[in-house]
Amino acid sequence: MLLSIKRLAKSFDDLEVLKDINMDIEKGTVVTIMGPSGSGKTTLLRCLNALEEPTNGVFSFDDGFTLDFQHKINKNDLLTLRRKSGMVFQSYNLFPHKTAIENVTEGPIIVQRRSKEEVYEQANNLLKKVGLEDKKDLYPHQLSGGQQQRVGIARALAIEPDLLLFDEPTSALDPELVGDVLSVIKDLANEGWTIVIVTHEVQFAQQVSDQVIFMDGGYIVEQGPPEKVLQNPSENRTQQFLQRILNP
């Protein structure tokens, strides 16, 4: 078990966005989170690396690192949590004034203080992995949306995280570019990376997921293997959601 999450809750003032979330993430597996807009999917993902600090809950990692958000968390522990995960954002979030390779090397050099020589060699290999070796000196505005998202994936990989987090990585892309990004994520899953992904791509989820979580209203309504949750859901709310997105 890479990460066990118990009683996770998140409120923004009086608005309770996540309510009593309990989930386990096994090492080397793909967990897909699905649900309607406003169900809490992205907030859950952002809590996993403390971009949003949970209101309550306990995170327990397999290396013994534990955070109990019922108590005040110190800055060093939050940084440790953030270093355990790499986030790929819906809207790329690349530095516009830096080239593709500079975007990939920023974190390892500035935050992890690794040697430039080592980091640049790794970055070249990662850009090659995502099919962008020949685009390394281009700036984000010179890249397509799909290419920017693949740079974002290389950037997340560069910090060598335990956990890769994807927040609807294809939702901002033109339909013909979606396949390239999903193909890279499939390759990462096949390599044994631990992945948590928020997506509406049902077919993709069926192909790569070990576990699917369906959320609504801040709760986990249903979770289990894709053949159960996506093909034979037991909850009416899950059935309604799947019918709507499969038969728009």
Q: Domains of the chain by range and CATH? A: 3-84+164-246 (3.40.50.300), 94-160 (no CATH)
- The predicted pLDDT at position 123 comes to 97
For residue 171, the Cα-to-chain-centroid distance in whole angstroms is 13
Q: Which of 221, 162, 230 is closest to 41 using CA atoms?
A: 221
Where does the chain have alpha helices with state H?
Answer: 41-48, 75-83, 100-106, 116-129, 145-158, 175-190, 202-208, 226-229, 236-246
Tokens standing for residue 105: 């090397």
- The predicted pLDDT at position 247 comes to 80
E strands in 26-125: 30-34, 56-61, 66-68, 85-88
Q: Which of 222, 240, 211 is closest to 29 using CA atoms?
A: 211
**Number of residues in the chain:** 248
- The predicted pLDDT at position 111 comes to 85
Digit-coded pLDDT (tens) for 144-200 = 999 999 999 999 999 999 999 999 999 989 888 899 999 999 999 999 999 999 999
How many CB atoms neighbour CB 245 within 10 A? 12
- The predicted pLDDT at position 112 comes to 85
| Average pLDDT, rounded, for the chain | 95
Digit-coded pLDDT (tens) for 30-58 = 999 999 999 999 999 999 999 999 999 99
**Mapping DSSP to helix (H, G, I), strand (E, B) and coil, where does residue 239 land?**
helix
Mean pLDDT throughout 1-19?
A: 97
Q: Given a cut of 80, is residue 248 above it in pLDDT? A: no
Beta bridge partners of 216: 219
- The predicted pLDDT at position 246 comes to 83
Digit-coded pLDDT (tens) for 66-116 = 999 999 999 999 999 999 999 999 999 999 999 999 999 999 998 888 999
Please state whether beta strands 211-216 and 219-224 pair in parallel, antiparallel, or not at all (unpaired).
Answer: antiparallel
Which DSSP letter does residue 205 get? H
Query: What φ, ψ does residue 23 adopt, rounded to 5°?
Result: -155, 155
How many CB atoms neighbour CB 141 within 10 A? 8
**% of the chain residues with pLDDT over 70:** 100
Mean pLDDT throughout 122-141?
A: 97
Q: 213's torsion region: left (phi>0), alpha (psi -120 to 50) or beta? A: beta
Residues 6+ positions from 188 with CB-CB distance below 8 Å: 153, 157, 164, 195
